[in-house]
């Protein structure tokens, strides 16, 4: 991507909501590499899809030859940003913050090349700042009128819960971050979601007043669900980047279920595919939407970015094992590890007259042999995706001599792991 077309491509992707002095920013980007930063809220031990957009924006700037700074908000995370919330969040202690910072760092390493990027924690430069210095050096450059006029503050003041002075001060702390990064890293641009516009503008103003210099801000529209709710950790069903919180298989499956009306937007904003390639995928998808060609590409690309190629292939193998028509393989069972509960079973139960009834109880799919017998008789039990009428499990049904996929009804499954 050429630097001269960079903002134009972000426009094509729908990734620009607001900028400060668009023409000046465009001119500055064309002059050569710019140092920019994006702040990440450390109030959870993992990034989520709402954070992913911002980290991917750092990657886009990096790929275009610019110098990204990922700022983890160790100090601002202790306060909480009022933007986009109707009530004050819980304050985090240092131990919880450190745990969260560690998890976030490891995920950033997968998405941004930290050998040519900078990772900072704002706690490192704010922990020694005392109140009097902060009020003198930062507070005097901001007016209450200006701060109250920001949407994030005004909406909270008009709401039921109001806003505490602690959260009210968040804007000044974020502005201080921008100024500090400008002075110490030559950072001229801050990027963030549209709910950060007021905070970013405050930082641009602080640099202008305190350092007599120009700085810039850029925001993108918040990525929202089909119901209009933004992606984040405070919404039920948050999509985490940590594989322990959202399994790579579940992550891949989520994007396979995306509504057609969101498909093109997500391909443009949540992947690194060229805009022209996205257009081709959308056109191909439109020929037979029921094949979900577009969703398949979307799921593969996002999962590859977050979890790697191996996670994509394993997710597909797991889906084939659960929903496909092909014969099950050992590789499919290995891909199901962590997705379907496993039950160790002694091989002596195989070929016993009521061995199936016994393992149905052992796997907790039923509570008693009587229930198991009725279920088999009613056609409610499948072995390796095939309904069975016998109460036996034969040795020949163990894939590779080791695995059996046991299923009750349409959704309850268990893997029997055979041992001597």
Residue 105 lies in a domain: yes
Query: Do 183 and 35 fall within a single domain?
Result: yes
Query: Do 8 and 131 fall within a single domain?
Result: yes
Average per-residue pLDDT for the chain? 91
Query: Do 7 and 70 fall within a single domain?
Result: yes
Q: How far apart are CA 87 and CA 277, in angstroms?
A: 42
* Residue 125 pLDDT class (50, 70, 90 cuts): very high
Task: Please count the other Cβ atoms lying within 10 Å of the Cβ belonging to residue 5.
Answer: 13
Among candidate residues 104, 35, 110, the one with its CA nearest the CA of residue 69: 35
Task: From 327, 359, 377, give the residue that closes a domain.
Answer: 327
For residue 85, pLDDT over 50 is answered with no
- Residue 88, pLDDT score: 45
66-75, 167-176, 276-285, 398-407: least confidently modelled range: 167-176
Residue 374 lies in a domain: yes
Query: Do 57 and 123 fall within a single domain?
Result: yes
- Residue 233, pLDDT score: 56
Burial of 372 (0-12, 13-18, 19+ CB in 10 A): buried
Query: Do 308 and 367 fall within a single domain?
Result: no
pLDDT in tens, 243-258: 999 999 999 999 999 9
Q: 3-state DSSP: the chain helix, strand, coil percent, rounded to 5? A: 50, 15, 35
pLDDT in tens, 130-162: 999 988 888 888 878 777 777 767 776 777 777
pLDDT in tens, 93-111: 778 888 898 899 889 998 9
pLDDT in tens, 6-22: 999 999 999 999 999 99
Among candidate residues 233, 229, 253, 231, the one with its CA nearest the CA of residue 242: 233
For residue 84, pLDDT over 90 is answered with no
Query: Do 414 and 295 fall within a single domain?
Result: no
Token digits of residue 395: 């040795």
Task: From 265, 298, 327, give the residue that closes a domain.
Answer: 327
Token digits of residue 116: 């040519």
The 3 state secondary structure assigned to 320-372 is HHHHCCCCCCHHHHHHCCCCCCEEEEEHHHCCCCCHHHHHHHHCCCCCCHHHH
Q: How far apart are CA 395 and CA 398, in angstroms?
A: 6
Q: How far apart are CA 230 and CA 228, in angstroms?
A: 6
- Residue 80, pLDDT score: 59
Domain count within the chain: 3
Q: How far apart are CA 97 and CA 318, in angstroms?
A: 35
For residue 366, pLDDT over 80 is answered with yes
If one compares 81 and 302, the residue with the highest pLDDT of the two is 302
Query: Do 96 and 211 fall within a single domain?
Result: yes
**SS3 label, residue 159:** coil
For residue 302, pLDDT over 90 is answered with yes
Q: How far apart are CA 333 and CA 314, in angstroms?
A: 10
Residue 98 lies in a domain: yes
Residue 230 lies in a domain: no
pLDDT in tens, 312-343: 999 999 999 999 999 999 999 999 999 999 99
Query: Do 147 and 259 fall within a single domain?
Result: no
Burial of 418 (0-12, 13-18, 19+ CB in 10 A): buried
Domain ranges, residue 192: 3-220
Which CATH number belongs to the domain containing residue 298 in this structure? 1.10.240.10
Query: Do 109 and 170 fall within a single domain?
Result: yes
Residue 405 lies in a domain: yes
Query: Do 12 and 98 fall within a single domain?
Result: yes
């Amino acid at each position: 991507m050429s630097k001269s077309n960079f903002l134009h491509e972000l426009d094509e992707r729908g990734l620009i909501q607001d900028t400060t002095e668009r023409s000046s920013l465009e001119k500055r980007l064309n002059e050569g590499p710019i140092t920019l930063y994006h702040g990440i809220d450390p109030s959870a031990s993992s990034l989520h899809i709402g954070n992913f957009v911002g980290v991917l924006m750092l990657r886009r700037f990096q790929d275009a030859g610019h110098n990204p700074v990922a700022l983890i908000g160790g100090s601002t995370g202790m306060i909480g940003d009022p933007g986009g919330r109707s009530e004050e969040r819980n304050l985090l202690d240092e131990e919880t913050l450190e745990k969260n910072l560690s998890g976030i760092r490891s995920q950033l390493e997968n998405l941004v090349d930290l050998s040519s990027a900078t990772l900072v924690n704002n706690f490192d430069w704010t922990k020694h700042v005392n109140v009097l210095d902060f009020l003198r050096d930062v507070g005097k450059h901001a007016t209450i009128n200006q701060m109250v006029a920001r949407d994030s503050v005004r909406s909270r003041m008009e709401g039921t819960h109001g806003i505490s002075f602690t959260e009210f001060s968040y804007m000044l702390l974020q502005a201080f971050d921008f100024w500090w990064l400008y002075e110490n890293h030559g950072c001229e641009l801050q990027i963030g979601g549209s709910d950060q516009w007021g905070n970013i503008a405050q930082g641009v103003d602080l640099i202008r007043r305190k350092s007599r210099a120009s700085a810039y801000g850029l925001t993108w529209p918040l990525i929202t669900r089909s119901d209009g709710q933004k992606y984040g950790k405070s919404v039920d069903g948050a999509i985490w980047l940590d594989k322990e919180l959202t399994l790579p298989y579940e992550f891949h499956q989520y994007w396979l279920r995306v509504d057609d009306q969101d498909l093109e937007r997500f391909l443009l904003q949540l992947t690194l595919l060229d805009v022209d390639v996205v257009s081709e995928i959308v056109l191909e998808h439109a020929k037979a939407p029921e094949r979900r060609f577009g969703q398949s590409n979307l799921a593969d690309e996002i999962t590859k970015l977050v979890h790697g190629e191996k996670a994509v292939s394993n997710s597909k193998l797991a889906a084939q094992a659960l929903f496909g028509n092909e014969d099950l393989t050992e590789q499919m069972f290995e891909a199901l590890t962590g997705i379907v509960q496993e039950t160790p079973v002694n091989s002596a139960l195989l070929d016993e007259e009521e061995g199936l009834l016994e393992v149905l109880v052992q796997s907790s799919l039923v509570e008693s042999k009587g229930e198991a017998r009725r279920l088999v008789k009613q056609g409610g039990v499948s072995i390796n995706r095939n309904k069975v009428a016998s109460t036996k499990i034969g040795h020949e049904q163990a894939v590779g001599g080791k695995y059996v996929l046991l299923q009750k009804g349409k959704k309850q499954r268990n893997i029997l792991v055979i041992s001597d």
